[in-house]
Amino acid sequence: MKNDFNWEERFMQTGLKRTKQRIAILKILQESQQPVAAETIYLKLKGEGNPVNLSTVYRALDTMAEKKLILKLSIVGEGRKLFEINRKIHKHYLVCLRCKRIIPIEHCPLEEYEKKLEKETRYLIAGHKLDIYGYCPECQSHIDS
Amino acid sequence: MKNDFNWEERFMQTGLKRTKQRIAILKILQESQQPVAAETIYLKLKGEGNPVNLSTVYRALDTMAEKKLILKLSIVGEGRKLFEINRKIHKHYLVCLRCKRIIPIEHCPLEEYEKKLEKETRYLIAGHKLDIYGYCPECQSHIDS
DNA sequence: TCATAATTGCAAACGAATTGCATTTGCAAT
DNA sequence: ATTGCAAATGCAATTCGTTTGCAATTATGA
């Protein structure tokens, strides 16, 4: 997961105001290896001594997701929405049901299939969401707990 | 979607008490062509003159889902959980983004792929969730609204 | 019929997210 | 630099879907 995401530039193109809150939030998303919840961002910022109001965090995340700067994810077994920088790579997630670790899968096994389905159902297919879940190597030894 | 689901029998095997509330809820699920929200069930029962407390509805749905009599679904673009009778057929959902109509897809395009992924990632794969979304034939003409 | 655990109804509480409103801010035009 | 103003923020209150504690009721097996 390279840090090659230049949001400064993309941010400009959105027409959104460049506020310190939004910058701070983007920085956190950029540094995170995993998708993050709004509250986590809120707590991290508070911890750093740059508190940003929780509703501002929610609003910032939503507007930035609207502008496609970031992605808003619903993940299996996670009540809250998670957010991550939009690197514009179509991907899927493999989620560990025990430790909740998420690994991104960049190859999509469904491209072919969608075309077939379009013909069969006459739906115009706009997208799909695939999550795969299971147990990561470390967690396999204690699946009970 | 045939009505060949004999819950009477399966219900017995669960060890759950056969209460009129649970029976009423199951009947609604059985009659519904679409996955249903807890509140919808609650309102329908109230409308029929057999009111069942909303928290009872939630509890009944949860225990019956635990016993695998029914399925609890998280659907793209739907805030609430939806429930349906468990006909024990592994399936996916094709959801219309405009009218929210859901059509079930009974062929799973991922069986092969999961095996491959298990080898590559060393995760033990327990399952997956695939939703496909787009616009149904009727809604394609007014995608704007 | 009785005993008992499971289930229910009700009201209160919950976590996540959203909203109204007064204040502050970024930024374009002067 | 100064101004004007829409956009963004902070705060508190509110929403929505769901869950919980508890006392009263009910299904089931002895």
Over the stretch A1-35, which tens digit does the pLDDT of each residue have?
A: 445 567 788 898 999 999 999 999 999 999 998 99
* Cα dist from B136 to A27, B98, B142, whole Å: 40, 8, 11
pTM across the whole model: 0.85
pLDDT tens digits along A74-102: 998 899 999 999 998 898 999 998 888 89
* Chain A residue nearest residue B103, CA to CA: A121
Q: How high is the pLDDT of residue A144?
A: 55
What single DSSP character describes residue B76?
T
Residues 90-119 of B with CB under 8 A from A: 94, 96-97, 103, 105, 109-110, 113-114, 117-118
Cβ–Cβ contact A140 with B under 8 A: yes
**Protein residue closest to C9, using CA and C1':** B53
Give exposure, B53-81, as e/b (b: 16+ Cβ within 10 Å).
Answer: eeebbeebbeebbeeebbbbbbbeebeeb
pLDDT beyond 50 at B145 = no
Q: Report the alpha-carbon distance of residue B121 to residue A45 in Å, rounded.
A: 33
